[in-house]
Amino acid sequence: MIAFDPTSEQEALRARIETFVMERIVPYEKDPRNTGHGPTEELRIELNALARSADLFAPHVPKQWGGMGLDHVSMAIAFEACGLSPLGPIAMHCAAPDEGNMNLLDKVATAAQKERWLKPFAAGEFRSCFAMTEPWGAGADPSAMKTKAHYDGDDFIVNGVKWLITGAKGAGFTIIFCDVEPSGDKPSGPTMLISDMDAPGIHLTREINSLDSSFTNGHWEVKYKNLRIPSKNVLGKVGEGFRYVQVRLAPARLTHCMRWLGGAVRAHQIALDYARKREAFGQPIGKHGEIGAMLAENEMDLQQCRLMVWWACALLDKGEQGRHESSMVKTSVSEALFRIADRCVQILGGMGVTGDTVVEQIFRETRAFRIYDGPSEVHKWAISRRIMKNG
C-alpha cells in the first residue's frame, strides 16, 4: 500500500510544532546569544525549557528515556516543522549531532552506558559530540583515520586529532571513532569509545570559522594526547566501528534532510511573500515570468524532497537498514535544498544577501549540507558501486 497523506495525529503535531517555532522560537533568531558560531549553551538551555513547557521536547527519543517516541515518518513531519527556524531543532533537542548520538546509544550501548550517558543526555542535562572527521584524513572516507588507541591493561590510550567536531565546546561527553592497534590476541580495528569531555587528555585546540552557524557552540578541532578510556566505555565491540557507524549515519542523513527541508520551506515562504508585495515594472515581481518560474521550481523541489524523505523513512519503519536509500535521499535532497535557497536569495535581490531575513543563513546552511554527512560526490560513487554489483 502506498499512502501520501499524514494521519490526523501527524497533522496535529505538525501544526503544533509550526505554531511553537514561529511564535516562540523565531524571535530568538536576533538574540545576541545566537552567534556566528551558533547558539550559546545559555541560549540552548533557555530554548529547551520552552520546548519542555510546550510538550515538544526530544520527539525522536524513545518514551522510556523521556521522549515522544515518534516513528521515522512522524519524525520527518515533526522535524520539517521544527526546521522552520535554525533554532527549532536546538530548542526541541533534536539537532545534530545529539539526535544521531541518542539513536546510536539507544541501539548499541550497554544498559550501564545508557544509564550513565543516555538517560541524562536525553533529558537535556548536557550535549554531546561525535568525533570522526580528521584534518587531511578521515571524513568522507573514515577508513583513512589516523587517530589511534592502544591497549594499556584494561584501558585504551587514545592519541590523534579530530576536526570539525560539532559542539565540542561545552559537550558533556564525546563518542570517538578511532583505530585500536593490535595487541596479541586482543580484538583490534575501527572502534567507538565514549569519554567524558572533561577527561584529562582532551584538548580543544581551535574554534573553526565555518559557513554555517546553526549548531550550539560551532565546530572545533580537538586533540587527544594520551587520553585514557576504560574498556567499559567501548560502544559496541572493538573492531566493529564501521558496522555501528551505519546504525548512526543512515537515519542521521535523513534527519538532516528533514530539518533543512523546514529551513527551505521558510525561505520559500519569505521569498513568495516578497514576490507578492515587491513591485517592479508596474506589477508584483512574482508575476514576471523569470521570478514566477523560480517560485514554481521551488514548489516542485520542496514536494519532491518531502516525498523522498517519507519514502526512505517508511523503509526504516519497516525494519530495513536503508543505507542505499538514505544515500540517494541525502544527495538528491541536499542538492535540491541548495537550489531552493539560492533561488530565494535571487528573488529577494539585495535583501537576500543581508541578515535582514533568515534566508541568508538558510542559504549558508544548505550549502554546507551538500558536504556534511558525506559529500554528494561520495554518495553518488557509493550508489553507483551498489547498482553495478546488482547487475
What DSSP letter does each residue of 9-44 carry, written as one string?
Answer: HHHHHHHHHHHHIIIIIGGGGG-TTEETTEE-HHHH
pLDDT tens digits, residue range 189-228? Answer: 999 999 999 999 999 999 999 999 999 999 999 999 999 9
The residues near 343 (Cβ < 8 Å, ≥ 6 apart) are 271, 294, 295, 297, 298
pLDDT for 311: 97
pLDDT tens digits, residue range 22-74? Answer: 999 999 999 999 999 999 999 999 999 999 999 999 999 999 999 999 999 99
Q: What is the distance between the alpha carbons of residues 181 and 190, in angstroms, rounded to a whole number? A: 9
Sheet strands (E) in 209-343? 219-230, 234-235, 279-280, 283-284
pTM value surpassing 0.85: yes
CA distances from 93 to 99, 267, 324, 364 (A): 7, 22, 27, 22
pLDDT for 391: 64
Sheet strands (E) in the chain? 34-35, 38-39, 128-131, 148-152, 155-166, 173-180, 189-196, 202-208, 219-230, 234-235, 279-280, 283-284
Fold of 8-95: Butyryl-Coa Dehydrogenase, subunit A; domain 1 (1.10.540)
Domain residue ranges in the chain: 8-95, 128-239, 246-389
Contact present, 346 and 190 (Cβ < 8 Å) = no
Q: How confident is the model at residue 139 (pLDDT cuts 50, 70, 90)?
A: confident
Residue 309 grid coordinates: 524523505
CATH of domain 246-389: 1.20.140.10
Fold of 128-239: Butyryl-CoA Dehydrogenase, subunit A; domain 2 (2.40.110)
